[in-house]
Amino acid sequence: MLSLIYFCYVPVVFGYNTGIRYEDTSMTSKTFEVPNIGCAGCVQAITNELSDLEGVASVNGDVSSKTMHIEYAPPATWEGIVETLKEIDYPPVAK
């Protein structure tokens, strides 16, 4: 059993071609202002739309400061998030 684990582990550590595709999975965190936020329903609408995007891990918002916080990884991109926000009439202002 130990040798099986060793042989499975070594190719990954030394980067041998194992057929495994490595993708950038680093999480990006961003806080931004959305001037059109006026109530909790606005925050919920933004949260619902952004949560549907593949790669988005979490979305939180604050009505009083009109800010949203999002954590995402590929395939989600900031450009795609901005486009989605514009489509639903909540364009962001980066902080």
What digits encode the pLDDT tens for the residues 37-70? Answer: 999 999 999 999 999 999 999 999 999 999 999 9
Instruction: Provide the percentage of residues in the chain whose pLDDT is more than 90.
Output: 69
> Rounded to a whole number, what is the largest CA-CA distance in the chain?
60
Per-residue model confidence (pLDDT) at position 15: 44
- pLDDT of 91 > 90? The answer is yes
Q: Please report, for the chain, the start and end positions of each structural domain, with discontinuous segments joined by +.
A: 22-94
Residues 27 and 18 sit within 8 Å (Cβ to Cβ): no
Per-residue model confidence (pLDDT) at position 13: 42
Closest by CA position to 60, among listed 75, 71, 76, 73: 71
Average pLDDT, the chain: 83
**Distance, CA of 62 to chain centre:** 18
Does the domain at 22-94 match CATH 3.30.70.100? Answer given as yes
Per-residue model confidence (pLDDT) at position 48: 97
